[in-house]
Amino acid sequence: MTRFFHLLLLASMLICSVVSVHAQVMLTPESAVEMAINNNLNLEVAKIGLDIKMRKSSYAWNQFLPTMGVTGTLSRDNWASTSQGIVISALPNLVPYSITLPVWHATGAFSATLDFSFALFEGIRSLRLDYEAGRVSIEKAKLQMEQGVRKMYNSILLLEANEALLTESFNNTKRQADIAEANYRAGLAPRLTLLQAQVAVENMKPMVNDLENNIKSLKGNFALLLGLSLDTLFELEPVSSGAFYIPPDVGELISRAASEKPDIQELRAAILTLQSQKKALSLQQFTPFLRLGWTLSTLYDPTLDPFSDGLFNADNWNKGGNFSVTLGMNFNGLFPFTKEGQQRKDMEESLQIQNLMLTQMIRETELEIYTKINSLEKTRTTADAQQAAVDLAEQSYRLTEEAYRAGLQDFQAVQSAALALEQARLQLLTQQFNYLSDLIDLEYSIGVPFGTLSNTGSTK
C-alpha cells in the first residue's frame, strides 16, 4: 500500500510539472506593460542614474562642511647645518660655541578651510533641478515603453485575427474541394473543377504556415520585451476597438501637447537645469568668495634628533597655527577671451540651442497632432465604407456558394467571392487596429494616460 501511494504521488508530481511547463500565461495590456517596465534593463540603468542624482541633491548641503585634513612630514636635510652662538652663562667672558644640528626634522599640521560664495546656493538648486529632470526622463522612458508594448500587443492581436480569417478561408476552400469532389463523382462537375479546388487548397497551406511562423516570431520578440523566455506560452486578452471616436477640439489637443508631451517636458526640464548651471557659473565668476581657515601646526625641536628617545615628549614639540579670513575674487571671468569667459559663452550658446530645439519640437508636435487627427478621420471614414463592403461580400459569398452547391456556378466564381470576402474582412480589421494604434500615439503626444482615448486602460 505504501509503495502504491509513493507511485501515485510521483505520478501526480510528474503530471503537475508537465502542466506547469505547458501552462499559458494570460496577459492583458496592463499586465504586459507592467512586466516590460519591471524587467527592462535600460530602465534599470536609468533608475541607478536617477538614484545618483537624488543622492547628490539630498546631500547638496555638504558643500558647507569645512575641508579638514591632517599631515605629518619627516624630512632630511641634504647637508648638515651648524648653529653658532655665545654661552650666556659664561659672561662677562665671551665663550663662543658651535653645534651641528640634526639632519632629520619632523612636523605635523591639522587644517580646516571653509569657502562661501553665492554660487554655492545656486549650485544646490542646480542639483535639485537635475534630479527633477532625471525623474522626467524616467517617466518619459516608461511612457515610451508602454506605448511600444501596447502597439506590439495590438499587432499580435491583428495577426491572430488575420490567422483566424485565413483559417476560416482555408476551411471554406477545403469544403469547396469536398463539394467539387462530390459533384465530380455525381457527374455534375468536370474533373478540371475538382483539380482547381484541390490546387486552391494546396496553395493556401504555405500561406497559413507563413502566417503562423510570423506570429510565433513576433510573440518571441514580445516575450523578450516582457523579460520572459522565448518559449514562454502566453495568450493575449482581446482588446475591443470600440466605436470610432474622434477627439473634438484639435486646438485644445495641440495646446495640451505643447505642455504635456513627455518629450517637451523632458526638454523643458533640461533647459531649466542648464539655466541654473549658467547662473551658478556667472555667480562664481562675477562675485567674491569668502574663505575661513584654521591651522594647528607642530614642529619638533630642530636642535634635537627626532629619532632620539624624546620624540614622544610633548615638551620637545613647538606648537603653532593661525586662524585666517580671506576675501577674494577671480578676475579671469571678467574677460571674454579667457578660459572662464569662453566657458560662460559656450553655456549661453548651448542654452540658445536648447530653446531653439524646444520651439522646433512644439511646431513639429502641432503638425503631428494635426496630421494624426486627419489620419483618424480618414481611417474612420474608410472603416465605415469597409463595413458596408464586408456586408455585401458576405451576401455575395453566401449566394455564390449556394449556387455552386447546386451546380449553377463554377469553382472560380466561388473562389473569387471567397477572396473578396477575406480581403474585405482583413481591410476592416486592419483599419480598426490602425485607428487604435493612432489613438495610442495621440495619447502619448498630448500627455494623457493611455486608455483615455483608446479606452484600453492604463497602468498609471
pLDDT of residue 271: 92
What does CATH list as the number for 27-65+117-288+332-446? Answer: 1.20.1600.10
CB-CB contact of 108 with 33 (8 Å): no
pLDDT of residue 87: 55
Within the chain, which residue ranges are assigned CATH 1.20.1600.10? 27-65+117-288+332-446
pLDDT of residue 15: 44
pLDDT of residue 2: 45
Regions in the chain scoring below 70 on pLDDT: 1-23, 83-97, 240-250, 309, 455-460
Instruction: Identify the residue whose cell numbers are 603653532.
Output: 320
pLDDT of residue 269: 92
Q: Alpha helix (H) ranges present in 66-190?
A: 118-185
pLDDT of residue 69: 92
pLDDT of residue 445: 86
pLDDT of residue 178: 84
Which residues sit opposite 321 in a β-bridge? 296
pLDDT of residue 439: 86
pLDDT of residue 70: 93
pLDDT of residue 202: 86
Based on DSSP, count helices (H) and strands (E) in the chain, helices before strands: 9, 8
Q: Could you read off the pLDDT of 274-296 as tens digits, one per residue?
A: 999 888 888 888 888 889 999 99
pLDDT of residue 89: 58
For 365, phi then psi, to 5°, come to: -65, -40
DSSP-derived 3-state class of residue 428: helix
Within the chain, which residue ranges are assigned CATH 2.20.200? 68-116+289-328
Give the whole-angstrom CA distance, residue 421 versus residue 95.
130
Question: Domain 68-116+289-328, CATH 1.10.760 — does that match?
Answer: no
DSSP structure string for 246-290: --S-HHHHHHHHHHH-HHHHHHHHHHHHHHHHHHHHHHHHHS-EE
Which residues sit opposite 144 in a β-bridge? none
pLDDT of residue 247: 59
CA distances from 310 to 77, 107, 232, 313, 419 (A): 20, 14, 79, 5, 108
Q: Could you read off the pLDDT of 110-125 as tens digits, one per residue?
A: 999 988 888 888 888 9
| Chain centroid offset of residue 408 CA | 63
Parallel, antiparallel, or unpaired: how do β-strands 104-116 and 67-76 relate?
Answer: antiparallel
DSSP-derived 3-state class of residue 416: helix
